[in-house]
């Protein structure tokens, strides 16, 4: 499973990666099935860059069968102004531990503001969740 976690402008590398991957028919046809879950945190819906693309991919690929179809994609937005806010340890537990995956099988792409990234890394690598720090790839925007 590929877990994409982004906040604010951190959604940009996620868009670039998905846009290239989902257009590569050879990779889709020849590689193992890929299950992508993308959680994005932003102020509100209007603040999400490329929102139409993410919603299109979700509509198109979230109905696919995991492990059977070449790719599945779920987009889960969280809006801080509507009260859903940043994901908590309980949110990660529900998303990751209630699924059929072992945390050892999860690769995380993480991008966003430094405080968001630190918080997410601490939650995911906690004993309760158990994602290995070696399975978390980060892209920092520190400017």
pLDDT above 70 (res 99): no
The CATH architecture of the domain made up of 2-23+32-140 is: 3-Layer(aba) Sandwich (3.40)
In the chain, how long is the greatest CA-to-CA distance?
A: 42
Q: What would the pLDDT profile of 101-120 be if each residue is shown by its tens digit? A: 666 688 999 999 998 999 99
Task: Pull the structure tokens for residue 104.
Answer: 């050892």
Burial level of 139, CB count in 10 A (0-12/13-18/19+)?
middle
Q: What would the pLDDT profile of 46-97 be if each residue is shown by its tens digit? A: 999 999 999 999 999 988 887 788 888 999 998 887 666 678 888 888 887 7
Instruction: Locate the domains of the chain by residue range.
Output: 2-23+32-140
Sheet strands (E) in 12-121:
34-42, 71-79, 107-112
Overall pTM > 0.85: yes
């Amino acid at each position: 499973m590929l877990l994409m976690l982004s906040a604010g402008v951190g959604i940009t590398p996620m868009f670039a990666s998905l846009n290239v991957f989902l257009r590569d028919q050879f990779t889709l046809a020849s590689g193992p099935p890929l299950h992508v879950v993308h959680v994005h945190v932003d102020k509100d819906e209007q603040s999400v860059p490329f929102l139409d693309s993410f919603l299109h991919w979700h509509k198109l690929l979230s109905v696919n069968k995991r492990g059977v179809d070449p790719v599945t994609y779920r987009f889960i937005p969280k809006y801080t102004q509507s009260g859903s806010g940043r994901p908590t340890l309980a949110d990660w537990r529900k998303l990751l531990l209630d699924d059929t995956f072992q945390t050892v099988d999860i690769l995380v792409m993480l991008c966003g503001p430094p405080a968001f990234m630190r918080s997410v890394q601490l939650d995911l690598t906690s004993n309760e969740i158990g994602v290995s720090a070696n399975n978390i790839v980060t892209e920092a925007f520190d400017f």
